[in-house]
């Protein structure tokens, strides 16, 4: 168990809908990362937050947004969903020390029908 | 931009044998981290081993070891005494040590350990 909790584990929705994925980082970790894993694109970095502030953006679509709350949990919001958004979405956390280690949650499998 | 290449989409090995997974990367940075992550059928991403670029000594973790060739930008993973539980996707990853916000992954190698 990595200590990173993601909910829900599975999500099935329709095109055009909006969903929210939730992540609770390991106790004490200030940094949260979101990744998307799809068959054609592999593992893609989406966005990172550190102590409530956006730190970096990767290949995140404008239809997607995220935030990190004062209790350090994070939410990834996906809107106007398309079939191609179907993927496994991972959250990871780190302590922002010098180790560079990321600890991953078990992911949310999103299916857009 | 940093890129990570895993040229072996699939590999197989007999139980108790040794297998080596290849990874190359491209970067202009001098200080960085390299990782191998394992993703079993449960989909959980599990850190297998980590290497700091400034350390010449190759990292080892029990049956897992790496061959880090900085000049060649190569970072291979050796699994000794392979076990059925080693069956998984293995991802090589790169992270800039000064900018811990973008871990780049390779496409992965699917390893099957055969009994």
Q: DSSP string spanning chain B?
A: --EEE---SEEEEETT--EEE--EEE-S-SSEEEEEEEE-TT---EEEEEEETT--SPPEETTEEEEEETTTTEEEEEE-S--GGG-EEEEEEEEETT-TT--EE---EEEEEE-
Among B104, B84, B86, which Cα is nearest to B20's? Answer: B86
Token couple for B65: 């070891």
> What was the pLDDT predicted at A42?
85
User: Which residues does chain B have within 8 Å of residue A56's beta carbon, measured at their own beta carbons?
Assistant: 99, 101-102
> What was the pLDDT predicted at A67?
97
Task: Identify from A3, A6, A43, A110 which residue to disrupt to test chain B contact, counting B C-beta atoms within 10 A and taking the largest count.
Answer: A43
Are A106 and B42 a contacting pair at CB < 8 A?
Answer: yes
Token couple for A16: 């055009």
Among B39, B44, B38, which Cα is nearest to A1's? Answer: B44
A66: left (phi over 0), alpha (psi -120 to 50) or beta: beta
Q: Is the omega angle on the peptide bond into residue A8 within 30 degrees of 0, that is, cis?
A: yes
User: Is B91 in contact with B108 (CB distance < 8 Å)?
Assistant: yes
> What was the pLDDT predicted at B100?
63
Are A101 and B104 a contacting pair at CB < 8 A?
Answer: no
CA angle A109, A90, A80 (to 5 degrees): 60
Rg (CA), chain A: 13
Q: What is the DSSP letter of A38?
A: E
d(CA B103, CA A37): 13
User: Is A73 in contact with A91 (CB distance < 8 Å)?
Assistant: no
Mind listing the pLDDT tens digit of every residue in chain A (113 residues)? 889 999 999 999 999 999 999 999 999 899 999 999 998 778 999 999 999 999 888 889 999 999 999 999 999 999 999 999 999 999 999 886 657 788 999 999 999 99
β-strands A42-50, A53-57 pairing = antiparallel
Longest dimension (CA), chain A: 42
User: Which residues does chain B have within 8 Å of residue A99's beta carbon, measured at their own beta carbons?
Assistant: 33, 50
> What was the pLDDT predicted at A59?
83
The residue in chain A having the minimum alpha-carbon distance to the alpha carbon of residue B94 is A100
Contact pairs from chain A to chain B, CB under 8 Å:
54
| pLDDT tens by residue, B50-94 | 999 988 899 999 999 999 999 999 999 999 999 999 999 999 999
Are B108 and A33 a contacting pair at CB < 8 A?
Answer: no
d(CA B45, CA A43): 11
> What was the pLDDT predicted at A98?
57
Are A55 and B105 a contacting pair at CB < 8 A?
Answer: no
Nearest to B101 among A55, A90, A104 (CB): A55
Across chain B, mean pLDDT equals: 93
């Amino acid at each position: 168990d990595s200590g990173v909790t993601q909910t829900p584990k599975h999500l099935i929705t329709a095109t055009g809908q909006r969903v929210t994925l939730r992540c609770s980082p390991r106790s004490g970790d200030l940094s949260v990362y979101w990744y998307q894993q799809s068959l054609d694109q592999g593992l893609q970095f989406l966005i990172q937050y550190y102590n409530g502030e956006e730190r970096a953006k990767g290949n995140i679509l404008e239809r997607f947004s995220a935030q990190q709350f004062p209790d350090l949990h994070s939410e990834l919001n996906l809107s106007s969903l398309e079939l191609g958004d179907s993927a496994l979405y991972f959250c990871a956390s780190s302590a922002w020390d010098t180790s560079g280690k990321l600890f991953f949650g078990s992911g949310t499998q999103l299916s857009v029908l | 931009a940093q890129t990570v290449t895993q040229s072996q989409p699939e590999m197989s090995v007999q139980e108790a044998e040794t297998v080596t997974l290849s990874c190359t990367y491209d970067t202009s940075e001098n200080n960085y981290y390299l990782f191998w992550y394992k993703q079993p059928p449960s989909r959980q991403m599990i850190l297998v081993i980590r290497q700091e670029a400034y350390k010449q000594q190759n990292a080892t973790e029990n049956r897992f070891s790496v061959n880090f060739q900085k000049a060649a930008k190569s970072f291979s993973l050796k699994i000794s005494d392979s076990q059925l539980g080693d069956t998984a996707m293995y991802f090589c990853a790169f992270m800039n040590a000064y900018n811990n916000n973008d871990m780049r992954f390779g496409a992965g190698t699917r390893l099957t350990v055969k009994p």
